[in-house]
Amino acid sequence: MNEVHTRPKSKPVFDKIRADIVEGKFHAGQWLKQADLESHYHASRSEVRAALSTLAERGMVEYVKNRGFRIFSYSEEELNEITELLEILEVAAVPGMIQRATPAAIDELQEIALRFERGIASSNAAQLRLINYEFHQKLNRLCPNRLIARNIQSLRESFISTPFDRYMTYDGLKAASAEHLEIVSLLEAGDEDALSSLIKAHVSNI
Model confidence pLDDT, tens digit, residues 25-52:
898 899 999 999 999 999 999 999 999 9
Q: Are 202 and 183 in contact (CB under 8 A)?
A: yes
Q: Where are the domains of the chain?
A: 11-71, 76-204
For 133-180, what is each residue's pLDDT tens digit? Answer: 899 999 999 999 999 999 999 899 888 777 777 778 889 999 999 999
The residue type found at 115 is: R
Q: Which CATH architecture has domain 76-204?
A: Up-down Bundle (1.20)
Give this prediction's pTM.
0.80
Q: Which fold has domain 11-71?
A: Arc Repressor Mutant, subunit A (1.10.10)
